[in-house]
Chains A and B, each alone.
Chain A
C-alpha cells in the first residue's frame, strides 16, 4: 500500500517538475530561441542536491564565438592599447603601406585554412568553417583588406587591395589534435613559387622554427596573450624548393594511400616538410565569456557548490578564464596550487606539496584551487589515486587543463566514488562521456551542435540558466519531493497504525477496521490530490533564493528528507493514529460501537487530520491548492454519501446517519484540535525560537521590508575587455611552483569596476563565510 501510492504520486509529480523546466520562460535562449528541456524526468530533485559542478570551458563558459583581437607580427604588438587589433591604426597603416611581414601574415591568415567562402546573392561573402578559429582569422584578414574570395578544387583567389591574387593549392596537411597544427602548400600563380603556410599551437610551431630565429619574442607574446585568456595561434611559412616539394609530394601521396597506420605515417611525412619555418607572428583570438557567467558561478559557489573546470585548453588561458568568471577569487583570498611534472616522481612530489599546503590552509577561510594538466593528471590518477582523491575532497575548486574526454569522465567518476553528487555541463561532443558519467548531465545546445544536449539529462541554451535550473527548479523539486514522499509515508502509516491498534481490541485476529472500499479509496482519492497539488508550493520566492543561494545547503545536506525528519513524520503518524483511535473508541463506545459507523468515524478523522496536516505544511497557498485541500475534504463526504446511498453497499445509510449525529461532528473537531494542537505548537515554537534559515528568510520575505542588508544583486553586464584590460601584462618572473600568489601585482583586477564599500563588496566578503559555513555544517 505504501510503495504503490508513493510511486504513483512521485512519478506524476516528477513529470510535472520536468514540464516546469520545459515551460520556464526565463530559461529561453532568446538568441536562438531554444527552450530548456528536461529529457530525464526522474532526477529533478537531484539538481537541488548538487555538490560538484564539472564544467567544460569552450562553448560552455564562453560563447564559442571567436573574434580576432590581437596579434604580434615580427615582434610588434598590435591591438594592445585599444584591445582590438582590427582598430589599431598602426596595423592599418602597416597594411596600407604594404609592409611585407604584415602582408605575409595576412596571407597565412586568409589562406592557411579549410574555410569555404560562399558568395551570396547580395555579393557578400559568407564563410563556412569547421573551426571557429579559422573563421575568425579569415574574417579578420578580410577586414584588413585581404579578402578570401573564392575557392575551387585546386585554386583559391584572394582579393588584396582590389587586386586579385590566385594561388594553386597543392596539398593540405590537415589538423589533428596530436599534431596541433595544420599546413597548406600553395603555388603562387604569378611568381610560380611554392610556399608552405603553417599555423598551430605555440608548442607545435616554435620548435620547428628556422634555427637562429629569435623565437623568444613570440613565446613571450603567446604567454602574454594566454594571460589575458586569449587563444593563440602561431603563424609561420617557408618557401619550398621545387625539388624538395616534388620529392616530398611523392612520399605524401604514398603515405596517404597506406592501409596500415596511415595516420601515423601521414603525420610523420608532414613532419618532414614542417621544419625550418619562418615565424611570422602570433594571432590572438578572443572567446568571450557568455553573459552572466561570473554571476552564475559566484551565486552557485555561494550556494556551496564546488566548481571544477575541465578544459582542453592551455593552462594560462584556463586560469585567466577561471579568474574572470569568479572561479577562483583573486589575491589575497584566492590561491592557486599547481600540480605539474613530466615524470612520476615530479608529479608525486608536486602532489604531496599541494596536499600539504591544502591541509594547512584548509582551516583558514581561503579560496584555494589546484591546477593540474592532462599529463600530470594521467600520472596522478594512475599511481597516486588516493592522494589525488584526498586533494579532490579538500579542494573546492580545480582547474584541469589539457584533459581528454576520457579523463573528464574519470574525474567525474572519482568524485562520484567519494559520494558527491556531481553535475557535468558541457556543449560539445568531447563532453558527452563526462555528461553521461555524472549524476546529472547538462548539455548546452550551442554552436558545436546538439551532441551534448542530446546525451544530457537537461539541455539549456546558456550557462547562466544553470543558476535557475539548480536554485529554482532543483531546490523546489527537492523540497516538494521531500514533503510528498514523507507525507505519503505518514498517511499510509496513519492507517496502518490504526489498524494495528484495532487488532488489539479485536482479539488480534486481523479484522480490518476499515471496509475495503475505504481502504482502496484512501490512497487513491481521499489523500492523494491535496499532496499532489503541493507541487505548486514554494517555501521561498525565487528572488529570495537567488539572493541567498546559501539556502541551497538545506537541500545538499538533505535536511528536509533524512532519518530524523522521517522519524518526525513517523512520530506524527503514530501520534495521530493514537488520537484518532483513542477518541473514536471512547466517543463511540457502548451503544454506538457499531462496526461500520465506528470505522467511518475513524476514517473521517484521518481525512480531517490530513487536510490540516497538508495545510500546516504548505508554505504558500494558491487557489488550486486551497481547492484541492478543502475540495478534497468535501469530496470525501460526497463520495461517501454516494456509497451510502447504494442499498447493496455494506455502508448503506451510514454516512447519512453519522452526519445527522452531533456526536460525529463533536468528535471530528476534537480529533482535529487534539491532533493538530501539539503539531502547531511545536511547529510554532521551532519556527520562532529554533528557526531554520529557511524560516528566517520566509519571515523576512513575508513581513515585507528590505530583505537583509545586502540589497539586490542584479546581474551586471560585464564585458570581457573591461575586466581584463586593467590587468598588467608583465609576468611575475620568479614564481614558486606551489605557493603561487595569484596576480600579486593587481589584487583586485577582476573586481575593479566595483569600488570598496559597494554592496557587492560586502557580498563578496560573505562568500568566504558561507563557504566555511557550509563546510562546518557538513561536518556536523
Chain B
C-alpha cells in the first residue's frame, strides 16, 4: 500500500462503490464546516473489490490539505431526474381516479349504512305560551319535562350511540377554551390552581373544583328512553376516553364549591363522585373545534327494529336560547368510517372523477396536438430572427 494509493484510482466492486460513496457523503456532511475534509479517493472505477474495507479506513483518516473530493462537495451525487412526460402524468391521474372512485363508493355506502335519528327539540320543548320568551322559560327554576317520540326508520344494530348535538355553540372560543385548569382536574393538592379559570375561579372565597367556564357550562339536559313502555337503558359508562379517565381527571379529586356562585351555568356535580368517574364532565371537557358538535350521552346496547317507536322523556334544562343555539338528540349507529357523513364519499368521487376527466383530457390533447418534448426549435435563440 504505497503513498500513491491515496491519489490513484481505487478498484472496487460496484455495490461497494456505492456504499463507500454513501459513507463518505455522511462523513463529509457530518463535518460540514470543517474546511479540509479529505474523502481520500480521487476517482472510483469498477474492478475487483479487494481493498474496500481498508480503503474506507484510509479514506477517513487521511486528511489532505487541499483535496476534498466527494460527490457531495462536487455536487455530483447520483440523481434521479424525472420529468413530467405525458405518459407519466396521465397514468398518475388515471391511477388516482382508479383508486379514489372505489374508495369513494365504499365510503358512501358505509355512510349510507349508518342509521341516524335526529330530533331537534329546542323549540318543541318550550310550551306554546312561552315561545315568545324562551329565555325566561328556561331560566325559571323547576323541572321542565318534555316528551318526544322517534320512529326507527331502519333496523339499528347495537351499539346505538346517543348524542346530543349543539349548534351555534362556540366551544372553541379562545377565552372559553382557556378557562380550565388541567392541574386542578388531575391532582387533589392543586385545587388552588385556578388562575387560568377566570371568571369561574373562586366562589364565596373558595376555589371552585372543577373551575373554569367549560366545567361551569356543563350540559344538563337529560334523556330517558322507553320502548313499548319498557324503559330502554342507556349505558353511560365508558363514554369518555379511557386516557382521560386515567390520566387527565384525578381519582381523588372531588367536585367542591361547584355551581355555588351567583350565576349557575349548567349541570351540578355530585361532590361524592371523583372527577374520573364524572364521565359527562369528561366528555364535555373535550372541547369541540367546530360550533356544531355532537357529544356522546350514552350507548343503547340493544338492537332497535324498524318501525319501533321510541319515547324520550327529556328534561329541558340547558339554556341555548339566549344565543339562538339549537339542541338535537341524535341516535346513530356507526360504520368503519364513523357516523353518518357523506362528505368523504362525495369528495372521493369528485376528486376521482376530476382526475379521470383530466387524464382523458390530457390524453385527447396529447393525441390531437402532440408536442415533441425537448424540441430545440422551441428555444427562441435557435429560431430565425424573423420568428420573434
Cα of A661 to Cα of B339 in the assembled complex, Å: 12
Complex interface: chain B residues within 8 A of A703 (CB): 83, 373-374
Contact: B355 with A506, CB < 8 Å?
no
Cα of A562 to Cα of B35 in the assembled complex, Å: 35
Contact: A624 with B96, CB < 8 Å?
no
B368 vs chain A, min Cβ distance (A): 12
Chain B minimum-CB-distance residue to A511: B174
Contact: B343 with A586, CB < 8 Å?
yes
A365 vs chain B, min Cβ distance (A): 7
Near A by CB (< 8 A), chain B positions 22-68 give 22, 25, 29, 32, 35, 66-68
Chain B minimum-CB-distance residue to A512: B174
B264 vs chain A, min Cβ distance (A): 23
Contact: B84 with A593, CB < 8 Å?
no
Cα of A617 to Cα of B103 in the assembled complex, Å: 28
* Cβ contacts A758-770/B at 8 Å (1 or 0 each): 0000000010011
Cα of A677 to Cα of B362 in the assembled complex, Å: 13
Cα of A181 to Cα of B280 in the assembled complex, Å: 103
Near B by CB (< 8 A), chain A positions 486-515 give 502, 505-507, 509-511, 513
Q: Which of A583, A591, A698 contacts B294 (CB 8 A)?
A: A591
A188 contacts B by Cβ under 8 Å: no
Q: Which of B80, B296, B388 contacts A620 (CB 8 A)?
A: B80
Near A by CB (< 8 A), chain B positions 55-101 give 66-69, 73-75, 77-84, 86, 89, 92-93, 96, 100
Contact: A623 with B337, CB < 8 Å?
no
B166 vs chain A, min Cβ distance (A): 11
Q: Which of B96, B161, B177 contacts A511 (CB 8 A)?
A: B177
B375 contacts A by Cβ under 8 Å: yes
Contact: A538 with B173, CB < 8 Å?
no
Q: Give the interface centre of A365, A594, A707 by most chain B CB atoms within 10 Å.
A: A594
Cα of A770 to Cα of B383 in the assembled complex, Å: 10
Complex interface: chain A residues within 8 A of B81 (CB): 619-621, 698, 701-702
Chain A minimum-CB-distance residue to B354: A677
B137 contacts A by Cβ under 8 Å: no
Near B by CB (< 8 A), chain A positions 661-700 give 661-663, 666-667, 669-670, 673-674, 677, 680-681, 683-684, 687-689, 691, 693, 696-700
B128 contacts A by Cβ under 8 Å: no
Contact: B177 with A595, CB < 8 Å?
yes
B132 contacts A by Cβ under 8 Å: no
- Give the dominant DSSP class at B's interface: mixed
Task: Using known A-B contacts A591-B296, A684-B362, determine if residue A766 contacts B290 with beta carbons closer than 8 Å.
Answer: no
A634 contacts B by Cβ under 8 Å: no
Cα of A622 to Cα of B74 in the assembled complex, Å: 13
B192 vs chain A, min Cβ distance (A): 19
Chain A minimum-CB-distance residue to B380: A773
Contact: B337 with A25, CB < 8 Å?
no
Chain B minimum-CB-distance residue to A654: B243
Contact: A773 with B381, CB < 8 Å?
yes
Complex interface: chain B residues within 8 A of A511 (CB): 172-174, 177
Q: Which of A620, A666, A688 contacts B86 (CB 8 A)?
A: A688
Contact: A33 with B96, CB < 8 Å?
no
B20 vs chain A, min Cβ distance (A): 14
Contact: A647 with B344, CB < 8 Å?
no
B137 vs chain A, min Cβ distance (A): 26
Q: Give the interface centre of B86, B290, B379 by most chain A CB atoms within 10 Å.
A: B290
B247 contacts A by Cβ under 8 Å: yes
Near B by CB (< 8 A), chain A positions 597-622 give 598-599, 619-622
Complex interface: chain B residues within 8 A of A175 (CB): none
Cα of A766 to Cα of B379 in the assembled complex, Å: 12
Chain A minimum-CB-distance residue to B385: A769
Task: Using known A-B contacts A621-B79, A680-B89, determine if residue A663 contacts B337 with beta carbons closer than 8 Å.
Answer: yes
Complex interface: chain B residues within 8 A of A595 (CB): 172, 177, 286-289
Q: Residues of A within 8 Å of B, CB-based: how many?
A: 87
Cα of A33 to Cα of B25 in the assembled complex, Å: 24
Cα of A599 to Cα of B66 in the assembled complex, Å: 52
Stretch at the interface among A16-24, A215-223, A403-411: A16-24
B338 contacts A by Cβ under 8 Å: yes
B283 vs chain A, min Cβ distance (A): 10
B157 contacts A by Cβ under 8 Å: no
Task: Using known A-B contacts A505-B290, A683-B84, determine if residue A770 contacts B173 with beta carbons closer than 8 Å.
Answer: no
* Cβ contacts A503-543/B at 8 Å (1 or 0 each): 00111011101000000000000000000000010100000
Near A by CB (< 8 A), chain B positions 336-388 give 336-339, 341, 343-344, 347-348, 351, 354-355, 358, 362, 365, 371, 373-376, 378-383, 385, 388
A194 vs chain B, min Cβ distance (A): 54
Contact: B355 with A652, CB < 8 Å?
no
B237 contacts A by Cβ under 8 Å: no
Complex interface: chain B residues within 8 A of A683 (CB): 84
Complex interface: chain B residues within 8 A of A513 (CB): 289
B371 vs chain A, min Cβ distance (A): 6
* Cβ contacts A18-52/B at 8 Å (1 or 0 each): 01101111101000010100000000000000000
Chain B minimum-CB-distance residue to A672: B96
A556 contacts B by Cβ under 8 Å: no
Complex interface: chain A residues within 8 A of B172 (CB): 502, 505-507, 509, 511, 595
A772 contacts B by Cβ under 8 Å: yes
Chain B minimum-CB-distance residue to A616: B84
A382 contacts B by Cβ under 8 Å: no
Complex interface: chain B residues within 8 A of A670 (CB): 344, 347-348, 351
Cα of A510 to Cα of B289 in the assembled complex, Å: 13
B59 vs chain A, min Cβ distance (A): 16
Task: Using known A-B contacts A677-B355, A681-B358, determine if residue A510 contacts B339 with beta carbons closer than 8 Å.
Answer: no
B170 contacts A by Cβ under 8 Å: yes
Complex interface: chain B residues within 8 A of A697 (CB): 374, 379
Contact: B174 with A509, CB < 8 Å?
yes
Q: Which of A509, A550, A596, A691 contacts B173 (CB 8 A)?
A: A509
* Cβ contacts A339-360/B at 8 Å (1 or 0 each): 0000000000000000000000
Cα of A769 to Cα of B25 in the assembled complex, Å: 43
Cα of A26 to Cα of B380 in the assembled complex, Å: 30
Q: Give the interface centre of B74, B79, B339 by most chain A CB atoms within 10 Å.
A: B79
Task: Using known A-B contacts A595-B172, A683-B84, determine if residue A696 contacts B290 with beta carbons closer than 8 Å.
Answer: no
A653 contacts B by Cβ under 8 Å: yes
B121 contacts A by Cβ under 8 Å: no
Contact: A700 with B374, CB < 8 Å?
yes
B163 contacts A by Cβ under 8 Å: yes
Contact: B89 with A548, CB < 8 Å?
no
Q: Which of A22, A585, A622, A770 contacts B77 (CB 8 A)?
A: A622
Contact: B103 with A666, CB < 8 Å?
yes
B158 contacts A by Cβ under 8 Å: no
A93 contacts B by Cβ under 8 Å: no
Contact: A677 with B243, CB < 8 Å?
no
**Which residues in B have some Cβ–Cβ distance to A below 8 Å?**
22, 25, 29, 32, 35, 66-69, 73-75, 77-84, 86, 89, 92-93, 96, 100, 103, 107, 161, 163, 165, 170, 172-175, 177, 182, 241, 243, 247-248, 286-296, 332, 336-339, 341, 343-344, 347-348, 351, 354-355, 358, 362, 365, 371, 373-376, 378-383, 385, 388
**Which residues in A have some Cβ–Cβ distance to B below 8 Å?**
16, 19-20, 22-26, 28, 33, 35, 365, 476, 502, 505-507, 509-511, 513, 536, 538, 548, 550, 583, 585-596, 598-599, 619-624, 647, 650, 652-653, 661-663, 666-667, 669-670, 673-674, 677, 680-681, 683-684, 687-689, 691, 693, 696-703, 705, 707-709, 766, 769-770, 772-773, 776
- Known A-B contacts: A591-B293, A697-B374. Give 9 more (CB < 8 A): A24-B74, A28-B66, A502-B289, A509-B173, A623-B25, A650-B182, A673-B96, A700-B373, A770-B381
20 A-B pairs whose Cβ atoms sit less than 8 Å apart in the complex: A28-B66, A502-B289, A507-B172, A507-B173, A511-B177, A536-B79, A589-B343, A590-B293, A621-B79, A622-B80, A652-B243, A670-B351, A674-B347, A684-B362, A689-B365, A691-B378, A693-B378, A696-B376, A698-B374, A702-B82
**Which 6 pairs, one residue from A and one from B, show the smallest C-beta to C-beta distance?**
A700-B374, A699-B374, A23-B73, A620-B79, A699-B373, A509-B174
